[in-house]
Amino acid sequence: MAKSKTLVKSKKEEKKPVEAPLTTKVANGTPYQLDPAQVEKAAAALVSHMRKHAQAQEEKAGKKSLVADEDDAEDNDQPIFLNVATKTHVHDSQRLKPTKLPLPHPIIGDNVRICIFTKDPQRAYKDLVASDSFPAPLRSKIGRVLGLDKLKKKYKSYESKRQLLAEYDIFMVDDRILKIAADFLGKTFYGTKAKRPLPIRLTAGAPSPEKGSAKKAENMVGTPQGVAKEIEAALHATYVSMSPSLNTSIKVGTLSMTPAQLKQNIEAVVERLVDRHIEHKWRNVRRLEIKGPTTKSLPIWLFDEMWTDEAQVLEHAPVLGLGNGGDKKGEKKRKWDEWEEEMLDEEELAQIKEKRARKNKSSKKEASGDGGAGAISKEKRSKLKKAALQSVPEALVASS
């Protein structure tokens, strides 16, 4: 018998102990939370596996260099991702916009070259970066400030965009021109997440515009301190774009990090992500996993309940009101026979019963093989018997 698809709570299942649970429920606050020991254990196993694999690949290829410096090691640092699977699709447009999630341990190194795409005129933002109030260490990382008009004129071809992509490590874009820049740069920059431009507010630090002055807000330029703070925040964060699907991948660390650092980054990302970007919060989370670019996923959290809303859950299995299908069919036929006997005349009722009896008799005859499609007449059977006897030698017939 097929099991009912309706979700039903079972008190026995709730009381049954589970070995090494990945879900931890608390009495106060959020109903779910990560298990720090499980997260660090999975991070340590993943890092160990990735390092052994990388070492084996280097030894196999014979490219391991004894004079490699720290910068080369940093360039070859592999990313580590957090995979988030939800029970229902994320369909809120506000949750699908790219958003930065602060990290305790940044995944972007110090020795990076930054290119910033700005709203026109670009001279205002070049002067801002060159200002004495702008932090000198951060200024040394910014290799270029490129306005939108100059970007469109100078980098029209695919080859020129590829060349620009290879010149810098990090790209940032004014959030006011994010959609325009994305349409122009196309798959060259947005085909992968490796160097996708990070949105920043270049109006940071500027006074709030008065009501009704939307044009003034569009042309606003932030302060050196405010913009510098925005860039620093972007360098110390990871970005998430919640796709309208059930799965999302977020970069949370690198291979050079320790398991403890990875654990802290994962906890910071999960806390902010679940609270602000997933509908129904923890109840909509199906599983959380960590993985490398080419490794299998390691689970750090698994769902304990299939539903997202308590209203979808029944305390007991549903009871069918009319029984099974066979009883319902028999009840319907009995009522129809009673109606015939009450409403029809005796002559009409007799004709219907006679017709029904002939039909049943012919059905039984076909089922038994008499008079069916494969049946033959007596005359034809006797002819076949005579023909068979004639083909037998006379000596055999006489002896029988």
Q: How confident is the model at residue 360 (pLDDT cuts 50, 70, 90)?
A: confident
Residue 149 pLDDT = 94
Residue 44 pLDDT = 94
Residue 45 located in a structural domain: yes
Are 148 and 226 found together in one domain? yes
Are 180 and 282 found together in one domain? no
Residue 310 pLDDT = 61
Residue 259 located in a structural domain: yes
Final residue in a domain of this structure, among 307, 333, 368: 307
Are 104 and 242 found together in one domain? yes
Are 150 and 167 found together in one domain? yes
Residue 64 located in a structural domain: no
User: In this structure, are residues 69 and 318 in contact, taking their beta carbons and an 8 Å threshold?
Assistant: no
Q: Which residues pair with 99 in a beta bridge?
A: 240
Final residue in a domain of this structure, among 280, 307, 334: 307
Rounded to whole angstroms, how far apart are CA atoms 129 and 227?
9
**Whole-number average pLDDT of the chain:** 78
Q: How confident is the model at residue 94 (pLDDT cuts 50, 70, 90)?
A: low
How far from each other are the two terminal CA atoms of the chain, in whole angstroms? 59
Share of the chain above pLDDT 90, in %: 37
User: In this structure, are residues 339 and 349 in contact, taking their beta carbons and an 8 Å threshold?
Assistant: no
Are 171 and 183 found together in one domain? yes
Q: Which residues pair with 171 in a beta bridge?
A: 115
User: In this structure, are residues 165 and 196 in contact, taking their beta carbons and an 8 Å threshold?
Assistant: no
Are 185 and 116 found together in one domain? yes
Range of the domain at 291: 32-50+75-108+237-307
Residue 63 pLDDT = 54
Are 162 and 275 found together in one domain? no
122-130 vs 224-235: helix axis angle to the nearest 10? Answer: 90
Q: Which residues pair with 237 in a beta bridge?
A: 102
What is the domain-level CATH number for residue 278?
A: 3.30.190.20
Rounded to whole angstroms, how far apart are CA atoms 90 and 240?
13
Are 185 and 303 found together in one domain? no
Residue 286 located in a structural domain: yes
User: In this structure, are residues 197 and 151 in contact, taking their beta carbons and an 8 Å threshold?
Assistant: no
Rounded to whole angstroms, how far apart are CA atoms 177 and 148?
8
What is the domain-level CATH number for residue 178?
A: 3.40.50.790
Is the previous residue joined to 121 through a cis bond, with omega within 30 degrees of 0?
yes
Residue 77 pLDDT = 79
pLDDT at 73 over 50: no
Q: What's the rounded mean pLDDT across residues 144-152?
A: 94
CA atoms within 13 A on the CB side of 362: 7
Residue 175 carries which DSSP code? G
Unique residue bearing structure tokens 């009450």: 342
pLDDT at 311 over 80: no
Are 179 and 268 found together in one domain? no
pLDDT at 141 over 60: yes
Residue 25 located in a structural domain: no
Distances (CA, A) of 351 to 181, 344, 345, 355, 362: 84, 11, 10, 6, 17
Distances (CA, A) of 40 to 46, 260, 292, 357: 10, 6, 15, 79
Q: How confident is the model at residue 263 (pLDDT cuts 50, 70, 90)?
A: very high
**What is the DSSP pairing of strand 198-200 with strand 237-240?**
unpaired
Are 195 and 266 found together in one domain? no
Are 104 and 133 found together in one domain? no
What would the two tokens of residue 229 be? 């703070």
Are 198 and 167 found together in one domain? yes
pLDDT at 81 over 90: yes
Which range is least confidently modeled, 119-128, 217-226, 278-287, 321-330? 321-330
User: Residue 291 contacts by C-beta under 8 Å, 6 or more apart in sequence?
Assistant: 46, 80, 81, 83, 297, 298
Which range is least confidently modeled, 52-61, 262-271, 290-299, 320-329? 320-329
Q: What's the rounded mean pLDDT across residues 126-146?
A: 93
Residue 142 located in a structural domain: yes
Which range is least confidently modeled, 113-117, 130-134, 187-191? 187-191
Query: What's the domain count of the chain?
Result: 2
Q: What's the rounded mean pLDDT across residues 99-127?
A: 91
Residue 200 located in a structural domain: yes
Residue 356 located in a structural domain: no
